[in-house]
Chain A
């Protein structure tokens, strides 16, 4: 397995091997699915849309609906306006969404299609029916990663929907970040427990974890309603979870509507969740609930119970910057040693944050943004680790190096649970920690000689 990968790292300037990121539009498609009765639309050639739908489907095992402009060579040379106009006419006539959220691809970005003016004309020509909303985000695939695409689409939401506010309401905007439907549920659960009136967007719970009822619904019950998006400008505060995914939208709301914002780490692990809760208590008008203390206490209890099995374990982890930063902190708090921490998404902040967290725990850790899994494999080949934490693509490294692997992040194509069980919040921490501990214990059982196999661990 992967035996062409040498342990010695040679500098690569041009060749990307086994990326730890993908391109913008899939993130935008995911974000758009977090609006109720919204159809994502990919303005490019149809291959992108097919790939993005397929990949989201593999991850969620759910229908993922999206349409495309289906560029041909002619459109690629002369512009995609006629394709987009035709697409909108067909979409509204046949599929009747309330909202169409357009994103672009490297094709339409390279030829420079001017979507605002196409949409303006389409509206004037009656192609967009009254009361229907069409908006867009530019998501060039050659900039950033899928996380950038998510951030761009969420920012486009707040550029589009909020109406000017006459008065401030008590409500708090909550941007949960590029996380799973289960995580969005968890964020809502925490807000509710503290009595915070939260406007969560985007929200894919109820969309990408829809129940089986033997009746397909093109637009499932979930998703943030447009009426909520329209009121985002009236809120007293925006809490943005995960700076890479959520900060651009929060900053826009601040600048355009005067809604102040707090940008926090994704609440993965104990301390990041503590900071989120503190923010809800101090800035968002939340009130402490005894149940919350119990939830926290249960997580700390498991941390103390199992600490011995975790202490000093060397971990390599990768994924999207926001979840990886928080997870690194959690692992360090568990007494583990994150010795290799990478993201495929470019950006300087990641390295600064991770190095800051690991200053004492693992000062020599390999930390990098814009990195790939080929490099990660080389690192762990040279200095072996006890555990890999990251998406499904890591399974090849796990097999090659015979290291246990906890699936975490996006995409997870070969296991289930990620859409249903959170990694955010105290309960998410409990679930994540359970999987980490049990994976290590499974491995300990497998490796123990017969005479040392323990009944109780």
Chain B
């Protein structure tokens, strides 16, 4: 007992565990939650419920539509002024709390250290906040002269009927600065996911395709759904540039509005976070003819595999030779640096409950380290992220998400340019190389657990029964998990470290995971007088 911090994970029958788990709920809740949980069985096609409303009172990890729009997709664009239209909280909590790093361009503009809000007061709720919003945009433009402004609606805005899009159009005309308005009220949809969609729609309509500057490289790619947490995008860019692949625009980590405006002239879109940006990938393909490839830059083998996907797309012998050289070199170094950690981590078990993509991406990196993912799930992913995009035609929209606009996009009259001959595109599509994501399920071990929108109760029971060596989740769970004596890695903000993407990131990650799991402190939690019988000697004369 005193030797190891964690008792050996007991042999748990996963099916029994799931039954035990849902038995803890009232009948109606149990019925609902049962559909969000499955035990992986590769022998049959499996289906999970996802992207439906949260059970009130269940203690969810989820956030809201505003967080998905302003906090995730639009907020990282560093040379824009992002104004939150609402009372102060929403802007305040999304101020510098996601670690989407930004390096200013030549013009020096960087507004990420600022928080802008209309700070709505009671009178704005009663009489409407449009006047204040107009004035706020005016003041922002006068003070900061940004290249563009965004406006994000919060809960009360929709209820009192402020038309932020009309205000944006008006102010754009008055000030001569683009103003992008997002109706991302917190109650829309059922999670952050709705906000991603709303952000994609308007960014596509109002920014993409506005500047026709062509890249000088024939291998110009955009990275979609990469938010540069802890510098991830910079490490990915380092490797790609070394391969001779030009990163043209990133949506939206280290993002500049200028890059996004000209993104439609790239040759290929690389989709990192499928959930948050697949809308953009699809729309850009329809409007401009750019195919997309699902990549995963997390993990050594995943990184190499993703580079080879890009090579397969471009079919250029020089490029492919260069990429193979880079892979050989980078992999060798990474493997050498990882080896000592792998020795100490192999066989350890991990569970992953993260937003809408990392619970899948990081499984590759854990495999590199010889660690086993025994349970995983998303807060707000949809069924296609679990089961693969082939199920999309069967998805039904439920009442809670029906009001999220679905843009109808067709080929742009002047700018549509198919990047591949039709038959080649069809061939790549059939091979699953382009326009496809196979989802998380196929990557999960038989008998592992998949839980969507995990609740506090479920997480707690999972930890108690499985005693994993590591739990990856977010800030709200971190200290809950560690109070159980189990180390917890935040996979949203990386515990203020990183980068974890790319070859070097994998090594950073291994070092950090090793330091957590093998920290001396875990063995010191129990006081010695509770571990050893108390010995008392008596002095006799």
Q: C-beta contact mask, B170-188 vs A, less than 8 Å → 1, else 0?
A: 0000000000000001111
Stretch at the interface among A91-99, A175-183, A234-242: A91-99
* Contact residue among A23, A75, A94 (Cβ-Cβ distance under 8 Å from B89): A23
Q: Is the CB of A76 within 8 A of B482?
A: no
Q: Is the CB of B88 within 8 A of A22?
A: yes
Question: Which residues of B in the span 437-488 have a Cβ within 8 Å of any Cβ on A?
Answer: 456-457, 460, 474-476, 478-485
Q: Is the CB of A87 within 8 A of B186?
A: no
B136 at interface, CB cutoff 8 A: yes
Q: Is the CB of A95 within 8 A of B89?
A: no
Distance in angstroms between the alpha carbons of A187 and B261 in the assembled complex: 58
Interfacial chain A residues near B97, Cβ < 8 Å: 54-55, 58
Interfacial chain A residues near B456, Cβ < 8 Å: 65, 95
Q: Is the CB of B187 within 8 A of A57?
A: no
Indicate whether A68 sits within 8 Å of B480 (C-beta atoms), given known contacts A75-B187, A106-B87, A142-B122. no
Indicate whether A54 sits within 8 Å of B26 (C-beta atoms), given known contacts A15-B136, A106-B86. no
* Contact residue among B58, B109, B158, B159 (Cβ-Cβ distance under 8 Å from A94): B58
Interfacial chain B residues near A57, Cβ < 8 Å: 475-476, 478-479
Q: Is the CB of A2 within 8 A of B113?
A: yes
Interfacial chain B residues near A44, Cβ < 8 Å: 155, 186
Indicate whether A16 sits within 8 Å of B187 (C-beta atoms), given known contacts A90-B57, A91-B57, A95-B457. no
Interfacial chain B residues near A427, Cβ < 8 Å: none
Q: Is the CB of A46 within 8 A of B63?
A: yes
Q: Is the CB of B475 within 8 A of A15?
A: no
Stretch at the interface among A163-171, A211-219, A273-281: A211-219
B525 at interface, CB cutoff 8 A: yes
* Contact residue among B56, B117, B122 (Cβ-Cβ distance under 8 Å from A140): B122
Q: Is the CB of B154 within 8 A of A106?
A: yes
Q: Is the CB of B476 within 8 A of A54?
A: yes
Question: Which residues of A in the span 43-74 have a Cβ within 8 Å of any Cβ on B?
Answer: 44-48, 50-55, 57-58, 61-74
Q: B99 to nearest A CB, angstroms?
A: 12
Q: Is the CB of B140 within 8 A of A48?
A: no
Interfacial chain A residues near B25, Cβ < 8 Å: 90, 93-94
Q: A419 to nearest B CB, angstroms?
A: 12
* Count: A-B pairs, CB below 8 Å: 253
B66 at interface, CB cutoff 8 A: yes
Indicate whether A15 sits within 8 Å of B139 (C-beta atoms), given known contacts A53-B476, A140-B122, A215-B484. yes
Q: Is the CB of B91 within 8 A of A90?
A: no
Indicate whether A51 sits within 8 Å of B90 (C-beta atoms), given known contacts A63-B479, A90-B25. yes
Indicate whether A51 sits within 8 Å of B63 (C-beta atoms), given known contacts A3-B108, A93-B26. yes
* Contact residue among A15, A73, A94 (Cβ-Cβ distance under 8 Å from B24): A94
Kindly state the interface size class of chain B when it binds its partner. Answer: 35 or more
Q: Is the CB of A15 within 8 A of B135?
A: yes
Interfacial chain B residues near A58, Cβ < 8 Å: 97, 475
Q: Is the CB of B64 within 8 A of A46?
A: yes
* Contact residue among A4, A22, A86 (Cβ-Cβ distance under 8 Å from B55): A86
A84 at interface, CB cutoff 8 A: yes
Q: Is the CB of B400 within 8 A of A4?
A: no
* Contact residue among A74, A84, A90 (Cβ-Cβ distance under 8 Å from B29): A90
Q: A432 to nearest B CB, angstroms?
A: 25
Q: A99 to nearest B CB, angstroms?
A: 14
A105 at interface, CB cutoff 8 A: yes
A17 at interface, CB cutoff 8 A: yes
Distance in angstroms between the alpha carbons of A432 and B47 in the assembled complex: 57
B156 at interface, CB cutoff 8 A: yes
Interfacial chain A residues near B64, Cβ < 8 Å: 45-48, 50
Distance in angstroms between the alpha carbons of A93 and B28 in the assembled complex: 12
Indicate whether A76 sits within 8 Å of B58 (C-beta atoms), given known contacts A14-B139, A19-B91. no
* Contact residue among B132, B403, B457 (Cβ-Cβ distance under 8 Å from A73): B403
Distance in angstroms between the alpha carbons of A13 and B119 in the assembled complex: 11
Interfacial chain B residues near A434, Cβ < 8 Å: none
Q: Is the CB of B460 within 8 A of A216?
A: yes
* Contact residue among A15, A21, A41, A106 (Cβ-Cβ distance under 8 Å from B118): A15
Q: B15 to nearest A CB, angstroms?
A: 21
Q: C-beta contact mask, B36-70 vs A, less than 8 Å → 1, else 0?
A: 00000000000000000111111111111111000
* Contact residue among A14, A47, A61, A67 (Cβ-Cβ distance under 8 Å from B132): A14
Q: Is the CB of A50 within 8 A of B63?
A: yes
Q: Is the CB of B114 within 8 A of A2?
A: yes
Q: Is the CB of A89 within 8 A of B116?
A: no
* Contact residue among A4, A83, A95, A107 (Cβ-Cβ distance under 8 Å from B156): A107
* Contact residue among B54, B89, B188 (Cβ-Cβ distance under 8 Å from A48): B89
Interfacial chain A residues near B525, Cβ < 8 Å: 212-214
Indicate whether A63 sits within 8 Å of B142 (C-beta atoms), given known contacts A15-B83, A15-B136, A50-B63. no
* Contact residue among B57, B59, B483, B485 (Cβ-Cβ distance under 8 Å from A69): B57
Indicate whether A142 sits within 8 Å of B476 (C-beta atoms), given known contacts A47-B66, A63-B483. no
Q: A67 to nearest B CB, angstroms?
A: 5
Q: Is the CB of B88 within 8 A of A16?
A: yes
Report which residue of A47, A65, A73, A217 has the largest number of chain B beta carbons within 10 angstroms of its beta carbon. Answer: A47
Distance in angstroms between the alpha carbons of A342 and B87 in the assembled complex: 20
Interfacial chain A residues near B61, Cβ < 8 Å: 50
Q: A450 to nearest B CB, angstroms?
A: 34
A248 at interface, CB cutoff 8 A: no
B121 at interface, CB cutoff 8 A: yes
Q: C-beta contact mask, A433-456 vs B, less than 8 Å → 1, else 0?
A: 000000000000000000000000
Interfacial chain A residues near B29, Cβ < 8 Å: 90, 93-94
Distance in angstroms between the alpha carbons of A213 and B482 in the assembled complex: 10
Question: Which residues of A in the span 148-203 have a Cβ within 8 Å of any Cβ on B?
Answer: none
A124 at interface, CB cutoff 8 A: no
Q: Is the CB of A141 within 8 A of B89?
A: yes
Q: C-beta contact mask, A32-44 vs B, less than 8 Å → 1, else 0?
A: 0000000001001
Interfacial chain B residues near A31, Cβ < 8 Å: none
Distance in angstroms between the alpha carbons of A180 and B156 in the assembled complex: 31
Interfacial chain B residues near A65, Cβ < 8 Å: 59, 456
Q: Is the CB of B54 within 8 A of A46?
A: yes
Q: Is the CB of B92 within 8 A of A15?
A: no
Distance in angstroms between the alpha carbons of A64 and B55 in the assembled complex: 19
Q: Is the CB of A61 within 8 A of B479?
A: yes
Q: Is the CB of B144 within 8 A of A4?
A: yes
Question: Which residues of B in the span 74-105 have a Cβ within 8 Å of any Cβ on A?
Answer: 83, 86-95, 97
Distance in angstroms between the alpha carbons of A400 and B157 in the assembled complex: 35
Q: Is the CB of B89 within 8 A of A51?
A: yes
Q: Is the CB of B160 within 8 A of A86?
A: no
Q: A134 to nearest B CB, angstroms?
A: 12
Distance in angstroms between the alpha carbons of A71 and B185 in the assembled complex: 11
A287 at interface, CB cutoff 8 A: no
Distance in angstroms between the alpha carbons of A192 and B279 in the assembled complex: 63
Q: Is the CB of B143 within 8 A of A4?
A: yes
B120 at interface, CB cutoff 8 A: yes
Q: Is the CB of A25 within 8 A of B57?
A: no
Q: Closest B-chain residue to A3, C-beta based?
A: B108
Q: Is the CB of B483 within 8 A of A47?
A: no
Q: B412 to nearest A CB, angstroms?
A: 32
* Contact residue among A1, A14, A25, A95 (Cβ-Cβ distance under 8 Å from B59): A95
Q: Closest B-chain residue to A51, C-beta based?
A: B93
Q: Is the CB of A374 within 8 A of B114?
A: yes
A10 at interface, CB cutoff 8 A: yes
Question: Which residues of B in the span 108-161 have a Cβ within 8 Å of any Cβ on A?
Answer: 108-111, 113-122, 124-125, 132-136, 138-140, 142-144, 154-156, 158-160
A-B contact pairs, 11 of them (CB 8 A): A14-B134, A15-B139, A22-B89, A47-B67, A47-B90, A73-B189, A106-B125, A212-B483, A214-B483, A214-B526, A216-B483
Closest 6 CB pairs of A and B: A47-B64, A87-B57, A23-B89, A214-B485, A14-B135, A87-B56
14 A-B pairs besides A106-B89, A107-B156 with CB distance below 8 A are A4-B114, A15-B143, A16-B88, A19-B115, A21-B88, A26-B89, A41-B57, A44-B155, A45-B186, A47-B186, A73-B187, A110-B155, A110-B156, A216-B484
Residues of A within 8 A of B (CB): 1-4, 6, 10, 12-19, 21-23, 25-26, 41, 44-48, 50-55, 57-58, 61-76, 83-84, 86-91, 93-95, 105-107, 110-111, 140-143, 145, 210, 212-217, 344, 374, 393, 396
